[in-house]
Amino acid sequence: MSKLLILSSDTGEGHNSVAAAIENAARSVGFEARIRKPLEESTRLNRTFANFYNVLLTRRPQWMSWYFSLIGRIRPNERDFCYTRGVRDFIGRFLQSEDPDFILSVHPMLNHFMQRFIKEEGLQIPCFTFVTDPFPPFWRGWSSPYIDQYFVPTDEALQALTATGVPAWKIERVPMPVRPKFLPATISEIEDLRDALKLREGSLILVNGGARGGGPILRIYKSVRRAAPDANVLVVCGRNSRLRWRIERMQHAKTRTFGFLEDIHRYVAAADLVVTKPGALSSYEALACGVPVLLTGLRCLMPQESGLFDAAHHYDFGFGARTFGELESVIRKGPAEWSRKRDSIPQFFTPRAVGDWIERILPVNVRA
């Protein structure tokens, strides 16, 4: 049985969602698959950088454009002075412990040093990358001379990658991998969830704050509540316990709050509208459930998310709001207008059977 090693990182929960979807699909068609996070597993310095990213994303998302530009200029993942003996020794031990037949990275900072080591040491391990950003502008780190094959979810991503110098023959378009539990809900499943939450009448709006509950979620909630006073509002606060406490103390009868949800697919699928920042996986997972999205670009819009934000209008699978006034305007449109977007979702994204796309990613003729 061939072994696929998937490289991910906790800097952005979307990468882990893609990794989990790929792991599940690979196993379903006969691969041994495993996810590892070398950034977090390596040095204290690397862990510090990863933690800094997460703190910035949670507490100062408006600074992310500055961070994006800084990393693009410094490019630490490409610098020889960062490719130290200690780093090479770690990579050697890492690869020896895993002994993979293939490596697939789903993170822009994990496309360089390990793949460079593999090429320099003459190891016969094909190195692949799945670009989890569906639209440009991209993190510069996605492009690497040490990658054998790239996989992208949109034509726009393919064109943007070729613009960085990657030959077109090295890039293949495949569907965005989404965890298999994200499916449209049946009427009985929606009713069961409403019963469990003691919510009955009114539309259901899910405000998804992600794994960390970052950004102006409290103000978003207040805007949603003001624009739709009779709606049921579910707020996913992630690991932001203070945010959850501040919303709960308002004691609104039609509001429910949650921390980090392992079964978030149930809540997404039951919603009439998902309000979320334009993260690729939170958006695609909602679309996989057949639910339109309201993408927020409030205070700031991270460069790597701006393309998806614009795509909601271009492909008509959802709405975008750059101001709180625009957000409230969309909410006031109501379920009938939100539902009109459902017809456009399959034209942009149609989930395929598990394993259909993984066999395009990994060569069939090399599997055991």
Peptide bond into 175 cis (omega under 30): no
Same domain, 165 and 263: no
Alpha carbon 364 to its chain's center: 27
Same domain, 86 and 194: no
Same domain, 196 and 301: yes
**Lowest mean per-residue pLDDT among 50-54, 126-130, 307-311:** 50-54
What range does the domain containing 72 cover?
3-178+352-366
How far is it, in rounded angstroms, from Cα 31 to Cα 115? 21
CATH number at residue 130: 3.40.50.2300
Same domain, 118 and 226: no
Q: How many CB atoms lie within 10 A of CB 339?
A: 14
Write down the pTM of the prediction.
0.87
Same domain, 24 and 111: yes
Q: Which pLDDT does position 44 carry in this prediction? A: 66
Which tens digit of pLDDT belongs to each residue from 308-334?
Answer: 999 999 999 999 999 999 999 999 999
- CA separation (Å) from 90 to 85, 86, 97, 123, 160? 9, 6, 11, 16, 33
Same domain, 18 and 162: yes
Same domain, 89 and 125: yes
CA-only gyration radius of the chain, Å: 21
CATH number at residue 258: 3.40.50.2000
pLDDT at 220 over 70: yes
Which tens digit of pLDDT belongs to each residue from 182-199?
Answer: 999 999 999 999 999 999
Tally of domains within the chain: 2
- CA separation (Å) from 13 to 9, 42, 57, 98, 213? 8, 19, 11, 23, 11
